[in-house]
Amino acid sequence: MSSFCERLSANAICDYLKQQYVWAPGSSDVECHPVAFFPDVEEEALSFTIMDLLLAYYFQCLDNLDRHVIVIDRRKCGWIPTKKLLVHLNVYFSSYIEYVVILRPQGFFQRIVSDKNVASIHNEVSFVVHMIDQPEELFRFIRQNQIPIELGGTLNFKISSWVDFQIHLPGVASVSTA
């Protein structure tokens, strides 16, 4: 994957970045692991191909020896796509992940089958998965000022500004070294 990541640039995937499928605002958890956030989106909106591109880019940008924390908001989704996402992350990105925090699906039927699904998820992934019900529960893992406003934190993060900065950054670097 490293040769693939070396070729990946914000300019090449800016349309996907601006769709706000995954955010990496530079946040860190209480143990200083970098954090990426998956906001609650429609179940079929994010294909694994696009997600793989975005995560490869974010892991490349946050390149260090630390493993990452993934926060997944699935309050409006079901367990089946949530489980598929976790299994995919486990297969392709487990070496990059310290732990995952999931805001549980909140639909009536989702709550009924919650315990069975949680147990099966823990058995199918190699990283630690924390299940929470409310965004405020994120504060045990991540300081409030490191969490975007959309998830109950105080971090004012605009993905479009971040993407524009990432696209212009390589141009600035090449001008300054010329």
The whole-model pTM stands at 0.80
Angle at 79 between CA 34 and CA 152, to 5 degrees: 45
Query: Tens-digit pLDDT profile for the chain (178 aa)?
Result: 443 444 566 666 777 776 777 777 788 999 999 998 988 876 566 788 888 888 888 887 766 667 899 999 988 887 778 888 899 999 999 999 999 999 987 765 555 555 566 666 767 889 999 999 899 999 999 999 999 888 889 998 877 777 777 676 655 444 444 4
Cα separation, 33 vs 97, whole angstroms = 9
Q: Is 134 left (phi over 0), alpha (psi -120 to 50) or beta?
A: beta
**CB 13, CB 56: distance < 8 Å:** no
**CB 141, CB 29: distance < 8 Å:** yes
Domains of the chain: 2-166 (3.40.525.10)
